[in-house]
Amino acid sequence: MAQDLRQAITSVAGRPGPLLSAYLSVNADIPENQRRAYLVRLRDAMNDEGVPEGLQQRVREYTEDETHPGARTLAIFAEEDGLFEIYRLQVDVPESFRWGDPYVAPLMLALDEYEPYGAAVLDAERFRYFVVSPLSTAHGDEEMKANGFREVNVHPSEPYPRGGGSTDLDPAGRKHQSNIHTFYKELAGLTRDVTFREGVQRLILAGPRERTAEFRRTLPNDLQERVVAEEHVDLGAPEGELLDRLEAVRERAEHEREKELLDKIRESGVRGLDETVAALQEENRVYHLAALWELEADIRWCDNDQLAIHDVSSEECPFCGRKTRLRTLTDVLIDLAAARGARLDFVLGEDENTETLRDEFGGIAGLTRF
């Protein structure tokens, strides 16, 4: 699926333009998006960028019709006559708008950096598997659910009493531990298949504590390594509640992952704007970047060399002598990271990670190869 998407992106990137590339934050948890204020930002940005009126109208109609976008970011690519594609990203990407050449770097980065999560939800007789990935799209008979989760159907061969509340099945007394064990063994194999097929890197197990612990022991080693959390949940709870719990676990696991990244950077990395940009751009030794989501800074850029210029006052490029321009640091980081093959994690919110990054690392830092 990610592979198909990469092809779609490549085909957008290869178009001559002009086209609209827009990354619109629609995340309802971000205060700036209350009462769908993003619609106003989109309208203003399209005006500023000089998007033709007819196209503006089409994009506005599409976005205004969506009262609940079911995503954190909408990635929009639209031509005046032709291409009109909207991707729903389950990740936060810095907002940007461009009319002209296609701008796909933020989407590429989102694909590279956000690992799909899987969640196996189980008890003694039921099993469900959910996947959430940066671009969750439901296919076949699947259904998109809350928080970008979609359910993947897993069918064990044994006719176990699963979920449906069948009446001809016996109460718990008859289900011996060995039956459950056999059930789990088969499910472990199926879970492994689904996990690898879906490209899931990080696995959450959810259910009654003793069941998830047992299931975890049944998993093959290469799958055990991907388990990032065991969460005690009641499968009888409403589905919306369950998915909210899973999303909370996912966010906690992401927070931990960020913290580990920052710890590693502290041990062997670069920090601060000058040092990080030099290591990324000139020395090409940064493979994983962490940057504050709200980096309020501009930097000089040479379009001809596709390079950041360290001296913010130099209107002429020191390499080729052409005119430079000011760009937001965030845009420049996205382009440099994409060009150098570095992962880029934006750290947002207000927590210990953003504090570390802001106060200790000066807003931007990177993990280095050597």
Interaction site with Zn ion (CB under 5 A): 302, 304-305, 317, 319-320
Closest distance to Zn ion from the beta carbon of 304 (Å): 4
Structure tokens at 218: 């049944």
Work out how close the CB of 317 gets to Zn ion at its nearest, in angstroms, rounded to a whole number.
Answer: 3
Measured from the CB atom, the residue of 24 and 317 that comes closer to Zn ion is 317
Nearest-approach distance from CB 327 to Zn ion, in angstroms: 14
Kind plus residue range of the DSSP H or E element containing 303: none
Question: Which one, 248 or 320, has the nearer CB to Zn ion?
Answer: 320
Please tell me the distance from the alpha carbon of residue 155 to that of residue 144, in angstroms, as a whole number: 19
> What strands, in cross-sheet order, belong to the sheet with 73-78?
84-89, 73-78, 19-25, 96-100
Q: Which two tokens stand for residue 194?
A: 């689904």
Q: How far is the CB of 325 from Zn ion (least distance, A)?
A: 11
Query: Which lies closer to Zn ion via its Cβ, residue 217 or residue 322?
Result: 322
Residue 106 C-beta: closest distance to Zn ion, Å:
24
Among all residues, whose Cβ is closest to Zn ion? 317
CB 61 within 8 A of CB 78: no
Total count of residues recorded for the chain: 370
Closest CB to Zn ion among residues 312, 320: 320
Which residues, including other chains, have CB under 8 Å from residue 52's CB and lie 6 or more apart?
80
Q: Whole-number minimum distance, CB 310 to Zn ion, in Å?
A: 13
| 332: DSSP letter | H
Half-sphere exposure of 55 toward its Cβ, with a 13 Å CA cutoff?
Answer: 23
The span from the CA of 370 to the CA of 354, in Å, is 25
Q: Name the residue nearer to Zn ion (CB basis): 126 or 310.
A: 310
**Helix or strand run (H / E) with residue 194:** helix 177-197
CB-based contacts of 351, cutoff 8 Å, min separation 6 = 255
Closest to Zn ion by CB, 279 vs 317, is 317
Q: Which of 283, 303 has the CB closer to Zn ion?
A: 303
DSSP letter for each residue of 209-234 = HHHHHHHHHHS-HHHHTTEEEEEE--
Nearest distance in Å: CB 305, Zn ion: 4
How many Cα atoms are found within 13 Å in the side-chain-facing hemisphere of 179?
12
Smallest distance from the beta carbon of 318 to Zn ion, in angstroms? 8
Distance CA 174, CA 213 (A): 22
- Of 64 and 315, CB closest to Zn ion: 315
